Amino acid sequence: MSLKVNDIEKIMEKLAPLKYKENYDNVGLMIGDSEAEVSSILVALDCTLEVIEEAKEKHCNFILTHHPLLFNKPNSITTETLLGRKILKLIKNDINVYSSHTNLDSISGGINDIIMKILDLETASIIEYSPLSNDSKKAGIGRIAPLHKTLTLEEICENIKCKLQLDYLRYCGRDNMKINKVAVINGSGEEYIKKAKKLGAQCIITGDTTYHFISDCNEEGIAVIDAGHFETEWPALIVIGKLLENTLKLMGFDNSVIMSKTCKTPYKYK
């Protein structure tokens, strides 16, 4: 029995239904043929040129990403743009690309919940519920959890560095401030920070924060920990990749699911 692209589509859409994506988002099969046979699967946060080359070298004709390759509609597909070069390279090499983004963030057991688990936090509530969360599958952006014991902001920072294996992170707030309730918004969560505070979070863990916004948070006494966009998503996507591999095995498929080695944050620090 050969694995087809649509088999993976069905698995991913059972796990993270497309209906749970945010309105601005684009998810699902980005490039490819639903009826095509799949060799091996490469899992990456982004579909970069390096990741595409890695897929070629490892004989993977299916790339599963978190961030959509086609987030904005291209006006043209040519070698003059980065996106155009990616699309043409994928098509020339018969590589399929599927992206599961905000729907995978939102669902129960998805990216946000996995990061909560890695950080030893118990999910108590969702910051912003999906309009469809009145059905049997609760979903939405961000999570809020009470701590087992009161910690200082400095202690929480050190715990995050340990759990996510970080050498550094950015944060604002008094080091000795007492925290007993935190929020986690994986990836870029700046727009949900003030809502999280209104819901009782004293510290918000996220990524991709900007200077002026954090300056205001600092003045307002909101503790924010910016652990990085990549860093708050990639560890969880590794778990999703293993889940996909196990699901395929249970279905009788022996296709390899490979975690990308070239997938990394674009930032460098000295």
Q: Are strands 140-152 and 125-129 parallel, antiparallel or unpaired?
A: antiparallel
Beta bridge partners of 138: none
Burial class (CB in 10 A: 0-12, 13-18, 19+), 227: buried
Q: Do the annotations mark residue 233 as ligand-binding?
A: yes
Q: Do the annotations mark residue 13 as ligand-binding?
A: no
C-beta atoms surrounding 204 within 10 Å: 29
Tell me the C-alpha distance between 216 and 42, whole Å.
41
Q: Do the annotations mark residue 67 as ligand-binding?
A: yes
Interacting residues of 160 by C-beta distance below 8 A, sequence separation 6+: 119, 166, 169, 205, 225, 227
Q: Do the annotations mark residue 101 as ligand-binding?
A: no
Comparing CA positions, the residue from 74, 80, 72, 64 lying closest to residue 29 is 64
Q: Do the annotations mark residue 57 as ligand-binding?
A: no
Q: Which residues are annotated as a binding site?
A: 66-67, 105, 229, 233
Q: Which residues are annotated as a binding site for a divalent metal cation?
A: 66-67, 105, 229, 233
